[in-house]
Amino acid sequence: MMRKFIVVLTVTLGFVTTAFADEGMWMLNLLKQQKLTEMKSMGLELEDYDIYNPDGSSLKDAVVQFGRGCTGEVISSQGLVLTNHHCGYSQIQSHSSIENNLLDDGFWAKSFDEELPNPGLTVTFIERIDDVTDYVTECLKRDSNEDSLGVFYLSPAYLNKIAIEKVGEEYLKANLGYEVEIKPFFEGNQYYMFTKKIYSDIRLVGSPPSSIGKFGADTDNWMWPRHTGDFSIFRIYANKEGNPAPYSADNIPLQPKRWLKISNEGVDEGDFAMMLGFPGTTNKYYTSGEVAERRDIDNSVRINMREVRQNAMLEEMLNNPEVKIQYAAKYSGSTNAYKNAIGTNWAIDLRDFEGLKKAEEQRLIKWAQDNNEPLYIEALNEIENILNERANLRYRSWMLNEGITRAVEFAAVPTKSSDELADAIESGDGDLEILHENLLNDFNRFANKDYNVEVDKKIAKTMIKAYTSLIDKDKQPEYFNQIYAEFDGNIDKFIDYIFENSIFGNSENINHFLASEAKSAETLRNDPMFLFVKSVREEAADLSRKLSTYNIPFAKARKTYIKGILEMDGPYKHFPDANLSLRLTYGQVKGYNPRDAVAYSHQTTLKGVIEKEDSSNWEFVVPAKLKELYLKKDYGNYKLGEDIMPVNFVATTHTTGGNSGSPVLNGRGELIGINFDRNWEGVGGDIQYLPDYQRSIIVDIRYVLFIIEKFANSTHLIEELEL
């Protein structure tokens, strides 16, 4: 209670809140200057170079970016990578069918030959991190004549160009699979270059059935207590020299520079825990106005429109097993951000984020006045003015995006091939056979194995009704005039007409068009689905153009505002917002009190899985073999105390999207769990850390080992690990 009182008092008095021991997503290369002493006082037994050493082996060499949005960890000398079940979900889904449903049944390769390749999946190692702020500053000065708008300082294309310039083309040619990337930090007040090594032959080794890996599904998503075995196992393959290479049957398992040792000792309340990973996006440096915009526009639109879409989608999934497979990943992806928005708005209001950010602004204003730095006050005024001016455009853009572009599948139909074919038919110039093939390929990519035309029609009708009820007619895409002019406002008839008359409406229509000897350019030009898509894109582009006029002045004002904070507080006090770069967070294993008279423990067990079982609800089905192991108390060496099987635990580490799959380590740097979620009460931590509420939800590594050994009988994988 005293700690909370002190924090509230400091905000009230207008002083900066001291960063809590558990707050922050810290740069690995600055641990010694920023957080090493504090981490040691909490239980860390390592030195900073044990965690990050660009010139030798360290823990960072066992942590990878899995795909483009998750984290994984190397856990064996033969390149095994552990990540979340939901991070590998699309790969597991791609190998699934009605006859061989890996999502429902799980998958366990018994040999290297049985491991399944995944085209397009990559695993990225960070070789080193270098501060290149001075270098970028000099390049920006050098190239200022080319930068008439003054935007190079945040441009990925420009920053990556000068990254290659810095290391040289020959360096990249001599180091297969290497890439370099310069990222801006603190809105372009600092820059770091990341040297990466990227592997592209990644094979699925094992995953539990969704009844374990996704137990609780969307009902339990963002919730604690949790009872989910959210893990999957992949393996990195390399050529015979150990270098990255495309998939080949001749490739061999990677022999990594470092892999994690695994501790099966378990965790206790108060234990030190740290996590390395690739957090995606946070907004710690929002102003009070940005907090209000996030709550009242972005989150509110997302909550309202996704609820409409999800209800329609779920009804179809529950009525049809094939649809359930087709739309599982789409539904999960939608609900993830939906619950996040709800939790964020709850936190914004409960903890008065607007007030907290206003206090930070007032502190900077006073400092700026005392130090004769008016530009920081001007930057704050500029931010506020822009937020007010763009509010209506932003609302319309979010409504179009959440209500139509993201929600209606046929709104993503490609139209380039149809336009090229129409041009060729009219001019009589062009290889019609190739253009016909391109059009068919477009259709097949759109109407793929995970697409159901009846589901798309139903959701489209539902979403367009919701969208048109909230946006004025003259602010809707132009083609929507057809709803009122031709169909008397009947959206159901409008959508049915589109599918009945579009060549992309179904496979019969496209085949009939391609089989016709008299293919008409007019048919392509007037295709109702293509007209719908183009109209939506034109409206989106128009809104984007109008909003973009604010982007440059807004970004420059934010850079100036944050520069003021850094000048006021010094270079090592703050951590930069997450941007998918490698970070470290640390804290304690600890439960919490979500509401009055309610206390949550730090640990859940298999008993809780059995208590939640509901055979009539697909989210809470428990596999028969897992129940059998529970009844026999057959837990091997992984039990907690007397015949108790641990499942999940929580820690005060500061995480966000991108930390999914992150290794959770004890003070000796040994793997004790895999991060997979946050609690609903803590998602507002993307804006302001919530020490009383924020918890990372973690799969206990003992549950992972138990499932591999006892449930899957994959003892060969256990033997591969270093316990």
Angle, CA 174 vertex, CA 171 and CA 175 arms, to 5°: 85
E strand residue ranges, 154-310: 178-185, 190-199, 201-207, 232-238, 252-253, 272-277
Contact partners, residue 20, CB within 8 Å, separation at least 6: 689, 691
Asked if residues 229 and 85 have their Cβ atoms less than 8 Å apart, the reply is yes
DSSP assignment string, 622-666: --HHHHHHHHHT--TT---SSS--EEEEEE-----TT-TT-EEE-
On the 0-12 / 13-18 / 19+ scale of CB atoms within 10 A, 7 is: middle
* CA distances to 83, 220, 314, 613, 676 from 335, in Å: 21, 11, 11, 22, 15
Identify the H or E element spanning 676. Answer: strand 671-678
Q: Which is it for strands 583-588 and 272-277: parallel, antiparallel or unpaired?
A: antiparallel
- Which amino acid is residue 655, in one-letter code? T
Asked if residues 57 and 36 have their Cβ atoms less than 8 Å apart, the reply is no
| Closest to 31 in 3D by CA, of 256, 262, 274 | 274
- Which amino acid is residue 378, in one-letter code? E
Asked if residues 688 and 682 have their Cβ atoms less than 8 Å apart, the reply is no
B/e letters for 662-671, b = 16+ CB within 10 Å, e = fewer, are bbbbbbebbb
Rounded to whole angstroms, how far apart are CA atoms 14 and 355?
Answer: 11
Q: Which is it for strands 232-238 and 646-651: parallel, antiparallel or unpaired?
A: unpaired
| Closest to 234 in 3D by CA, of 329, 122, 138 | 122
Contact partners, residue 586, CB within 8 Å, separation at least 6: 21, 22, 35, 39, 42, 44, 272, 273, 274, 275, 653
Rounded to whole angstroms, how far apart are CA atoms 228 and 89?
Answer: 14
Which residues are catalytically annotated?
86, 230, 660
> CB pairs under 8 A, 24+ apart, for 435-443?
436/514, 439/510, 439/514, 440/510, 440/514, 441/417, 442/413, 442/414, 442/416, 442/417, 442/418, 442/504, 443/503, 443/504, 443/507, 443/510
* CA distances to 14, 158, 318 from 574, in Å: 18, 26, 47
Rounded to whole angstroms, how far apart are CA atoms 365 and 13?
Answer: 14
Strand, coil or helix: 540: helix
Q: What distance lies between CA 521 and its chain's CA centroid?
A: 42
DSSP assignment string, 566-613: HHHH-TTS--PPP-SS-EEEEEEB--B--STT--B-SEEEHHHHHHH-
